[in-house]
Amino acid sequence: MNTTVQTTCPYCGVGCGISAKIDEAHHHLKISGDATHPANFGRLCSKGSALGETVELKGRLLQPKVYGCETSWTEALDLVADSFINTIQKYGADAVAIYGSGQLLTEDYYVANKLMKGFIGSGNMDTNSRLCMSSSVAGHKRAFGSDTVPGCYEDLELAEMIVLIGSNAAWCHPVSFQRIRAAKESNPKLKIVVIDPRRTVSCDIADLHLPLASGSDAALFNGLLHFLSGQGVLDQAYIKAHTEGFELALNAACIDIEQVADTCRLDKDDLHRFYEWFAGHEKVVSLYSQGINQSSSGTDKVNAIINCHLATGRIGKPGCGPFSLTGQPNAMGGREVGGLSHQLAAHMDFSSTDDIERVARFWGSDNIARKSGYPAVELFDAIYEGKVKAVWIMGTNPVVSLPNADKVKQALQRCEFVAVSDCIADTDTTVLAHVLLPAQGWSEKDGTVTNSERRISRQRALFKPAGGAKPDWWIITQVARRMGFEQAFHYQSPVEIFREHARLSGFENNGSRDFDISAFADIAGQDYERLQPIQWPVNQAYPKGRARLFDDGRFFTESGKAKFIAVTPRPPVNPPDQDYPLILNTGRLRDQWHTMTRTAIAAKLNQHKPEPFVEVHPDDARRYGLVTNSLASIESRWGTMLARVQVTDSQLPGSLFVPMHWTEQYAGRGRMGALVNAIVDPISNQPESKHTPVRIKTYQPAWQGFILSRRELGIDAPDYWVKIKGEQVYRYELAGMTLSENWQDWAKNNLCDNDGAAPQWQEYQDPGRGNYRAARIVNNQLESVVFIAAESALPERNWLAGLFEKTELEKTERKALLTGKPPVGQADVGTIVCACFNVGEKTILAAIREQGLKTHQEIGRCLKAGTNCGSCVPEIKALL
Ligand SMILES: Nc1nc2c(c(=O)[nH]1)N[C@H]1C(S)=C(S)[C@@H](COP(=O)(O)OP(=O)(O)OC[C@H]3O[C@@H](n4cnc5c(=O)[nH]c(N)nc54)[C@H](O)[C@@H]3O)O[C@H]1N2
Ligand SMILES: Nc1nc2c(c(=O)[nH]1)N[C@H]1C(S)=C(S)[C@@H](COP(=O)(O)OP(=O)(O)OC[C@H]3O[C@@H](n4cnc5c(=O)[nH]c(N)nc54)[C@H](O)[C@@H]3O)O[C@H]1N2
Ligand code: SF4
Ligand SMILES: [Mo]
């Protein structure tokens, strides 16, 4: 029987509710948006919609492994506990560490943090949130005395102006972006401004785009504060009653428009227009994300934005506020439990002895850590240097996502003991582990997550656990018990952990801490099962949750007043120079999630951007001899990568953009983390991932080619390779520096297994011109095809892939396999624009031309493209 379960999407911080219809017998899910969930009201983006395609068991880590061999849970857990105990005995508690993630549920996170800080007695628990939200956390703490996102999603509809700063919400928070688009459509007066060095698809709905120089946001917002003051639009009563430090902040912000335009390299009139709009609209929401946080002055940038909201009293009121968009599904939950190495638990941290004593009392621990541990970048340096000798990584892939990632790889290779909990068998990090612990994945685990607007939602199990996979909280608890902490880790189910977490949030709180969900301290199992999405705080004063904080003008600083921060803008630490004259910017794509361990399983999600690429401005392309679709090598002082060139004027001259997603599992040399400088913000310790000096040059292989194959192949990897899972076929894009003497042997080695079938093999060879093509046909069906070319162009892949759907190949099609030209009448659809309905660029262009379609709505009616999640609407509009 099919049942339907309400759960939450495991990707971005929008935190969409999902309604999953489960077909247990076929291990199949039908996914739709949960119409009752306040984060999405039924909408989902391409990634959420494709979740059903990611639950397959192939590629999952299903059994614990020790030194590469499958083993029992008992042996694996004993080994983790013993290694930790022995390391601590020999070298002290600070020689071990846990590195966690916003992929963990709150309950998992809570016990991991409690184990390290409460009982092992070291601060060495940090998380990938360090790379993500820590500048916002630090900025909030400085201004509000607490790590609070004051507003809620409803403010997006109530605003008169929305500023997107360093946020490509169209791709990274698509459902919230659709909400803004809808608000704009129903209220054309709503002003939207995008502040980003790149002209991203988020600019599609913008009235103004400010392509500021990388890292110059603090000057821009200092200039705004100065301008607002000059215009007399400050809320003096608010400043007086509810804030402190205004004069100093205003003095520090004394910079006029000319200077700002110069520093930010912006058009003065555009800048002036933005400042006037900000001054002229009462209800302004400033949404910001990694363009702000991932910077060596990230914390200051956050405070420069908050300063402008405090000075105008635009905070805690409907339709206003600074709004940090969280990235991961449970980035916010991780902050609640104290996942960062300077935090303790429940919004308490190591800066206060009272907090330390209080948490020790609550946990009944006499061995609580008393100081911060290593933040992420320093932690991996400490591993590299042998100061930390045993590390347990949970739900994150640091060999890809940390800066200077080759050094991180070496650190793990040198480390005496590495345990990794993951749900996927082969990642760039799991391949370096001594012990692998199979975690339950999204469709199996059970617990809570908190989204950007502080809304706690349930993630519910849909399937029985895959193989021997266990919940993260269980794995951690088992190790804790083996380390001698049975009493403090007696949990049998997530609700017990949730209750304790809720009790701690209310413990000796009395209104002194923002995070308080004490209303759940005794929540019954059934109520936890049925828990509906709710925004914290949830306590005696706010039993139904609270949409906005600071609506009473009260903050969590000692004085109860918000603090202005005097900001002195600083440029990024490593400027470009003669050897490395360009700036490397990194970020996200619409259809991939981080290191692709799950999204790349869904064929649908690989069609939008199938290969690692680098965006280059036309001037730079000319200077360095780069053309679209050629290959380029990008080098920094720390590492190198290869990527396919995309020439575009959406990029500023002098800067490059590469997506952060590709790993060694999917591409030969596409792991961008290797290039990124390990510079961090001195306050938040967040890395400057958006700014690294690099150089670029053409990469001219002797040959290029591709393979399409029905089966996944183990390719004898040349210099450049990319693996792309498609609906019917695996596609391999290849390029090499040396021409093979014998392509036939090469092809047969790579394409043929001894499966007993009698394949037909047809091939074409033109050694003089370096061309080679072959197709392997089994029982009249296409099994695989390879195209190699030294000089000539390669054929389009999509129509060839279409031939794999045929149960029998026609004569013309067999011929086409060798010529590389589609038979008459079989057109290529081009690159996929709409992932939901698989509609290609060429199909859309043909419809525009032939049927005279003029709007994206007309295209939607005709081809369905853009009518589900809407994420591709900006691209459809660009084609129009
Ligand atoms: N599709 C998809 N969605 C995701 C994710 C994903 O992997 N894939 N990840 C999630 C996570 S964890 C996060 S943290 C969020 C991140 O969401 P975003 O922060 O929106 O995503 P990014 O692409 O990292 O960066 C945003 C923009 O910052 C710009 N930028 C770079 N430097 C500067 C600067 O100096 N100033 C300004 N103002 N802008 C700058 C970049 O050009 C980029 O367009 O996305 C979440 N959503
Ligand atoms: N240059 C550059 N670097 C960046 C960024 C950037 O913009 N530019 N962005 C940074 C940001 S904001 C972020 S958030 C990070 C993200 O970077 P990572 O955290 O390294 O990326 P993910 O792919 O999300 O890694 C999650 C891992 O957890 C596994 N996993 C998924 N669910 C579970 C679970 O329930 N339990 C367990 N145990 N494992 C699970 C997945 O298979 C995967 O291996 O990257 C950061 N690095
Ligand atoms: S916007 Fe997309 S990725 Fe983010 S939570 Fe919603 S469905 Fe998931
Ligand atoms: Mo993130």
| pLDDT for residue 870 is more than 90 | no
At residue 566, φ and ψ (nearest 5 deg) are -75, 120
What is the DSSP secondary structure assignment for residue 131, as one 8-state letter?
G
What fold does the segment set 134-324 form as a domain?
Dimethylsulfoxide Reductase; domain 2 (3.40.228)
Ligand 2 pocket list (CB less than 6 A): 101, 103, 128, 131-132, 290, 294, 327-328, 394-398, 400-401, 421-424, 427, 439, 441, 445, 472, 586-587, 594-595, 597-598, 660, 672-673, 676, 689
At residue 605, φ and ψ (nearest 5 deg) are -80, -10
Distance CA 644, CA 451 (A): 35
* The residue to which tokens 């129009």 are assigned: 880
What is the DSSP secondary structure assignment for residue 454, as one 8-state letter?
S
What fold does the segment set 2-54 form as a domain?
Phosphorylase Kinase; domain 1 (3.30.200)
CA 131, 135, 137, 138: dihedral to nearest 10 degrees? 130
CA of 289, closest atom in ligand 1: 19
Ligand 3, residues 7, 8, 9: which to mutate, most atoms within 8 A of Cβ?
9
Between 867 and 34, the higher pLDDT residue: 34
For the domain bounded by 65-131+330-479, which CATH number is listed?
3.40.50.740
pLDDT at 685: 98
pLDDT at 462: 97
The whole-number average pLDDT for the span 219-243 is 97
Q: How far is CA 553 from the centre of its chain?
A: 33
Distance CA 443, CA 7 (A): 9
43, 16 contact by CB (below 8 A): yes
Query: Which residues 6+ apart lie within 8 Å of 547 measured at CB?
Result: 152, 154, 535
Q: Which ligand is nearest to the CA of 34?
A: 3
pLDDT at 739: 85
Tokens of 290: 């990694």
pLDDT, tens only, 753-794: 655 566 788 888 887 778 899 999 988 899 999 999 988 888
Secondary-structure breakdown of the chain: helix, strand, coil percentages, each rounded to the nearest 5: 35, 20, 45
The whole-number average pLDDT for the span 234-253 is 98
| pLDDT for residue 352 is more than 90 | yes
Dihedral class, residue 692 (left if φ above 0, else alpha if ψ from -120 to 50, else beta): beta
CA of 430, closest atom in ligand 2: 44
| Ligand 2 center to 455 CA (angstroms) | 21
The whole-number average pLDDT for the span 326-330 is 95
Confidence band of 167 (pLDDT split at 50, 70, 90): very high
Atom 10 of ligand 1, nearest CA residue: 327
Q: How far is CA 462 from the centre of its chain?
A: 24
pLDDT at 98: 98
CA angle, 111 as apex, 338 and 428 as ends, to 5°? 85
pLDDT at 827: 67
Does domain 582-699 correspond to CATH entry 3.40.190.10?
no
Distance CA 364, CA 367 (A): 9
* The residue to which tokens 């660009």 are assigned: 878
Distance CA 497, CA 28 (A): 30
Helices 856-863 and 841-851: crossing angle in degrees, nearest 10, is: 110
Residue 40 Cβ contacting ligand 3 at under 6 Å: yes
pLDDT at 546: 96
| Ligand 4 center to 119 CA (angstroms) | 28
In angstroms, the Cα distances linking 339 to 107, 123, 423 are 12, 10, 20
Between 662 and 813, the higher pLDDT residue: 662
Atom 40 of ligand 2, nearest CA residue: 395
CA of 400, closest atom in ligand 2: 20
DSSP labels, 472-525: HHHHHHHHHHHTT-TGGG--SSHHHHHHHHHHHHHTT-TTS-S---GGGTT--H
Query: Which residues 6+ apart lie within 8 Å of 449 measured at CB?
Result: 8, 15, 105, 106, 329, 330, 332, 333, 456, 457, 459
* Sheet-wide strand order for 390-394: 69-70, 65-66, 435-438, 417-422, 390-394, 96-100, 125-127
Distance CA 779, CA 782 (A): 8
Ligand 2, residues 133, 136, 400, 594: which to mutate, most atoms within 8 A of Cβ?
594
Cβ count near 21 (within 10 Å): 15
**387 forms bridges with which residues in the sheet?**
none
CA-only gyration radius of the chain, Å: 27
> Could you state, in order of their start, the residue ranges of all structural domains in the chain?
2-54, 65-131+330-479, 134-324, 582-699, 703-819, 832-879
The whole-number average pLDDT for the span 532-559 is 97
In angstroms, the Cα distances linking 813 to 620, 765, 777, 784, 825 are 42, 18, 12, 14, 11
Q: Are strands 390-394 and 417-422 parallel, antiparallel or unpaired?
A: parallel
Distance CA 443, CA 31 (A): 11
- The tally of CA atoms less than 13 A away on the side-chain side of residue 158 is 14
- Whether the upstream peptide bond of residue 610 has omega within 30° of 0, thus cis, is no
| pLDDT for residue 489 is more than 80 | yes
Distance CA 451, CA 15 (A): 5
Spell out the SS3 assignment of 749-771: HHHCCCCCCCCEEEEEEEHHHCE
| pLDDT for residue 342 is more than 80 | yes
193, 180 contact by CB (below 8 A): no
Confidence band of 748 (pLDDT split at 50, 70, 90): confident
Q: Is 27 exposed, middle or buried (0-12, 13-18, 19+ CB in 10 A)?
A: middle
Mean pLDDT lowest among 268-277, 290-299, 760-769 = 760-769
pLDDT at 1: 59
Confidence band of 53 (pLDDT split at 50, 70, 90): very high
| pLDDT for residue 822 is more than 80 | no
The whole-number average pLDDT for the span 93-111 is 98
Mean pLDDT lowest among 479-488, 559-568, 825-834 = 825-834
Tokens of 496: 């017990």
Spell out the SS3 assignment of 147-172: CCCCCCCHHHHHCCEEEEECCCHHHH
Tokens of 678: 């390990």
Q: How many residues does the chain have?
A: 880
Distance CA 115, CA 118 (A): 6
Beta strands in 188-237 (DSSP E): 191-195, 208-210
pLDDT, tens only, 388-426: 999 999 999 999 999 999 999 999 999 999 999 999 999
CA of 216, closest atom in ligand 1: 35
| Ligand 4 center to 128 CA (angstroms) | 7
What fold does the segment set 832-879 form as a domain?
Arc Repressor Mutant, subunit A (1.10.10)
Tokens of 614: 């680098």
| pLDDT for residue 290 is more than 80 | yes
Q: Which ligand is nearest to the CA of 593?
A: 1
Atom 28 of ligand 2, nearest CA residue: 395
pLDDT at 120: 98
Distance CA 840, CA 834 (A): 7
| pLDDT for residue 669 is more than 90 | yes
Residue type, 255: I
CA of 173, closest atom in ligand 3: 1
Neighbour-count burial for 379-412, b at 16+ CB within 10 Å, e otherwise:
bbbbbbeeebbbbbbbbbbbbbbbbbbebbbbbb
Output the CA torsion sign for 46, 48, 52, 57: positive
Query: Which helix (H) or strand (E) covers residue 424, if one does?
Result: none
